């Protein structure tokens, strides 16, 4: 690396990731308005879809929010037919949150919109640049998810 030491390079990567995240979040909020869903509801749907049916306590942990806050959130989502509470098959005392078809559909459509937005911003990049970016970000994700 010419002219930059490793620390400056890592600081630059962190800065760029933070700026990209900010832009994508802004666009994401704009997209969510079209679907009449809040950011916490969208986040909860993604977590539930990725992890399978969770309890209020499990979802609370994954979102870093109090159980009472999650209960209110799930109440609103249930009223909007995004999710439903169901008794666990193995232990009837346990209640799990299941995503309904509308919830899946909203997540899919929002993610499609975000991808279209990103595609439009990446038009000026060559296929090699896109591939290198994808590979680099995947490598970073893989080392970060290892804790």
Chain segment 76-133, per-residue pLDDT in tens? 999 999 999 999 888 888 899 999 999 999 999 999 999 999 999 999 999 999 999 9
DSSP letter (8 states) at residue 64: T
What are the domain boundaries of the chain? 6-144
Q: How far is CA 140 from CA 13, 16, 34, 124, in A?
A: 11, 13, 32, 23
What pLDDT sits at residue 88?
Answer: 85
Q: How far is CA 89 from CA 58, 101, 112, in A?
A: 17, 20, 33
What pLDDT sits at residue 126?
Answer: 95
Q: pLDDT confidence of 3, banded at 50, 70, 90? A: low
Domain at 6-144: CATH code: 1.10.10.10
Q: Which residues pair with 95 in a beta bridge?
A: 87
Q: How far is CA 19 from CA 14, 15, 97, in A?
A: 9, 6, 34
What pLDDT sits at residue 8?
Answer: 80
Long-range CB contacts for residues 48-52, cutoff 8 Å, separation at least 24: 48/83, 48/97, 48/98, 48/99, 48/103, 49/99, 49/103, 49/104, 49/107
Tokens of 1: 């690396």
Of 46, 111, 115, the closest CA to residue 82 belongs to: 46
pTM of the model: 0.81
């Amino acid at each position: 690396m010419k002219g930059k030491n490793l620390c400056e390079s890592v600081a630059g990567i962190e800065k760029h990731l933070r700026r990209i995240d900010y832009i994508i979040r802004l666009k994401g909020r704009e997209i969510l308005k079209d679907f009449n869903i809040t950011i916490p509801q969208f986040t909860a749907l993604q977590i539930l879809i990725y992890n399978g049916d969770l309890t209020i306590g499990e979802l609370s942990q994954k979102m870093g929010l109090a159980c009472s806050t999650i209960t209110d959130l799930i109440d609103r989502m249930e009223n909007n037919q995004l999710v439903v509470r169901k008794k666990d098959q193995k232990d009837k005392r346990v209640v799990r949150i299941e995503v309904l078809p509308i919830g899946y559909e909203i997540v899919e459509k929002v993610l499609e919109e975000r991808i279209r937005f990103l595609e439009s911003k990446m038009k000026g990049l060559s296929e090699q640049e896109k591939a290198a970016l994808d590979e680099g970000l995947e490598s970073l994700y893989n080392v970060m998810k290892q804790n």
